Structures are given as C-alpha cells and as structure tokens.
Structure 1
C-alpha cells in the first residue's frame, strides 16, 4: 500500500509503531485492583506521542465517508490492519485487477501522434501499477514491452 511507503519515508519511527504496536500502558496492582499508571517518564511520553501521531496520520489517509467506521480503533497497529482489510480487496478482486493489468500490458502500443516520452510515461504507469498490486513486476513482461518499444522507436525514426 502506498500509505506504508509514505509513512516510512516521512518518519520511520511512526512506521515502527504501526508495525509493532505501541508499548502497553503500565499497570499496577493496588489492593487487589489493577490500575493504569499515569505516563510520567520522558520516554513514555515520546512513545505515546508517536502512537497518537501514527494513528492520526493513518486517519488522514481514510476518505471522509469511512472515518466513522475507523474512529473507534485506538491502536495504530489495529487501525492499519483494518485499513488493509477494508481497502486491500479480496483475493478475487486482486486477481481481476492483475488480469486487467496483464491485458493492458499485452495491448500496449505507441501511437504515431504520441511523443516517445509520453509513451514511456504510460509504460512506467503500467509497471508501477503492477508493482503496487503484487509488490513486484516480472522481468519477462518488462523485457517484452521494451522489445516492442524498440521496434516502435525504430519505426518512428525511419
């Protein structure tokens, strides 16, 4: 997901909180009753601040119409799991998206009116969509497209 890359780029400590969860609040048993100890140390306050910042960053990425469904989740790690579950899609939708991208790859051609850099940009968009969907892009597909591009470029140069 792109939000993972964005958060890792902006502040890796936030991503660490999202991925591993925050430290649990300290509790103490007083007269048989478990009570939550207030945050007093500088490290605990910094950790809590990171947790709030991570959760807020994730909430900003959620469209307004879904905010109410996610607002009750108080932990950034659980919030990320819920976001992936809601917006990640099922295996059937992912398979459909992969098949659609495969078809777009196979039908990729450069038009005569299009500049070479525009064609390359369209190709890069397909490659990045494939990487976003699967986390990788098969080299044989890219090589096949590059070969097609070379033939097209040779035709344009002539």
Structure 2
C-alpha cells in the first residue's frame, strides 16, 4: 500500500498539458485525463458548466449569483479551479485574447475554436481544391483565395 507522501508525489508529478498550434485534439484528451485525475468534478465543470447565473434586470445580461449554500460554494470553487487550470495551459500569445472569459465551459469552447481556426479551415479547403482538380475542375489561385476569405467566420472579417 502506498504511503500518503508517495501518492502526493505521484499527483504533483503530473505535467499540466499545454496547448500547441494545431494540437487541440491532443490537448483535449490530455486535459480531460489531467482534470479527471485531479478531481473529476473539475472536468464536469467543462462538460456541463457550473456557475449559476441570473439575468440582471438593469443590464439584461447574466451575472453570477453569489454562492450561499455549501453546494454553491463548492461549485464556485470548482469553476474557479477549472478556469485557472485552463488558463495555465494557454501560451502567452493567446492568453490576452481569452483571459476575460467568465466561465470554464465558455473558455474551453474558445480554446477549441481558436485551435481549430484558420489552420484546419485552410487544410479542409486545400483538400476540396485538390478533389476538384482530380475531377478536372481548375480554379485559379485568385478565385481560390477569394473563396477561402468568403468562407471564414465573420470574426475574421477585419483580418480578411
């Protein structure tokens, strides 16, 4: 039987997964393993969300409720711990763009969207162009560029 100190050393030796370009799928698998190993409730925060919110009458937006019960306090603790863990896994160049996101579930979705962004879109687009060429359809580079730019989400308009 392992002693308490050996167990603590094993847990503290776990390496926090870090997001790398084009590696969202790998990060997803590793982060799920990491969070479920530390505390399964932390992964549940990402899957289900865990911050109770109410609509504010003055602004019409949703604001977090101050935790009152033990369950609410635990949910808030899990939310903050999960969000902090996710933020630790983000490279500095991306951190400034997503640090203001309020909850862990939305943060996870933003990480996924950013990771699956332009690179994967371009790869899928290139595959489609190649398939068209196989079937005898030739598309000029200029036309292909315009089609790619039009296919980007509206969030990319200022860049495109």
TM-score of the pair, normalised by structure 2: 0.48
Structure (1/2) with the larger helix percentage = 1
Q: Which structure has the bigger radius of gyration?
A: 1
Q: Which structure's relative contact order is higher, taking Cα pairs within 8 Å and 6+ residues apart? A: 2
TM-score of the pair, normalised by structure 1: 0.49
